[in-house]
Amino acid sequence: MGRQRKRKGRPVAGWLILDKPWDFGSTEAVSKLRWLFKASKAGHAGTLDPLASGMLPVAFGDATKTVPYVVDGRKIYRFTVAWGEERDTDDLEGAVVRTSEERPTREVIAQCLGAYLGLIEQVPPRFSAVKIDGERAYDIARDGDDVEIPSRQVEIHRIDIVDCPDPDHTVFEVECGKGTYVRAIARDLGRELGCFGHVSALRRLAVAPFEEPDMVPLANLLALEEIADEDERLAALDAHLIDIGAALSMLPRIDVSADQAQRLRLGNPVILRGRDAPVACEEICAFAAGRLVALGEVSGGEFQPRRVFATHADPG
């Protein structure tokens, strides 16, 4: 059996909350950051379309093990709907398929928003990453074939009108759950109002548990390339990383000793002692000296690790 090729790059670990610029793909952004940080491993939590800007949480190293928790987090988007045109992509990229001279007033729009709250059925856009019989919907649509996408249930926690700068545009802010398509909201609102519409601007403001102040503009990171000394440059980049454990703030946590942490990292269970130690918990994370050690479950007062994290899990 041949030797396994060693992964190149630094074993850097942590979260970088990128403020992704407009007209820059999510995969392109991750590749650029991985190169900047000289990281051995990187991935993102939730694709952001090239025409959208804003929060793109990027995980390095062991942080990739916590990506599913961030993907499931609530999102906040601010978006502008341009009235009068429906497009086949439901955004600026697509071809116009329907038009109308009608324009909705703020009051009429507000009256419709109640139907978009809570658990609702939503049909994703034709040009989306939803899989139909193993193929991405956007690939089928680009081939010119009809795409029949079944509706699915999504959850919208709030949707507010932020501004109506002119009769042709309305700015909204929406807080929603996983799998919600803002473009579909614009499409459906336009049809319901009889004036048609598409998203002309979109920005993601938050992906729980991360918030807007956590974002770092790409330009700020690229500016650090001017630092000639590599160690100094990488240290300046690493200063922007957020601890892996921040992605798990929604889970209960316990603190363990250094000896227990070593046992957990080896995949061994540990007995939890103390008056406040949990007896049973389906999902919990263990920390030692402020660093994430393991994700696991507690049964009968024993912590059983499911995923363990290296000692370098805390950035810096």
201-245 pLDDT, tens digit per residue, is 999 999 999 999 999 999 999 999 999 999 999 999 999 999 999
* Pair 48, 70: CB distance under 8 Å: no
Q: What is the pLDDT of residues 254-281, one digit of tens each?
A: 999 999 999 999 999 999 988 888 999 9
- Distance, CA of 71 to CA of 80 (rounded, Å): 24
Could you give the residue numbers annotated as active site? 49
Residue range 14-72+210-244 forms a domain whose CATH class is alpha beta
Domain parsing of the chain, residue ranges = 14-72+210-244, 75-207, 251-308
Amino acid in the structure at residue 201: A
The pTM assigned to this predicted structure is: 0.89
Average pLDDT, the chain: 91
Task: Provide the pLDDT for residue 86.
Answer: 97
Confirm whether 75-207 and 251-308 share one CATH topology.
no
Confidence tier at 314 by pLDDT (50, 70, 90): very low
In the chain, pLDDT over 70 holds for what percent of residues?
89
More confident position, 15 or 126: 15
Here the tokens at position 65 are 């093990």
CA distance 130 to 310: 34
Are 233 and 266 contacting, i.e. CB atoms less than 8 angstroms apart?
no
Domain 251-308 homologous superfamily, CATH: PUA domain (2.30.130.10)
What's residue 10's pLDDT?
92
Q: How far is CA 271 from CA 28, 67, 259, 283, 299, in A?
A: 45, 28, 12, 16, 10
In single-letter form, the type of residue at position 93 comes to E
Q: Class of the 75-207 domain? A: alpha beta
**pLDDT tens-digit readout, 22-53:** 988 899 999 999 999 999 999 999 888 888 99
Least confident of 136-150, 151-165, 181-195, 236-250: 136-150
- pLDDT for residue 316: 43
Q: What is the mean pLDDT of residues 298-305?
A: 95
The enclosing H or E element of 108 equals helix 106-112
pLDDT at 128 over 80: no
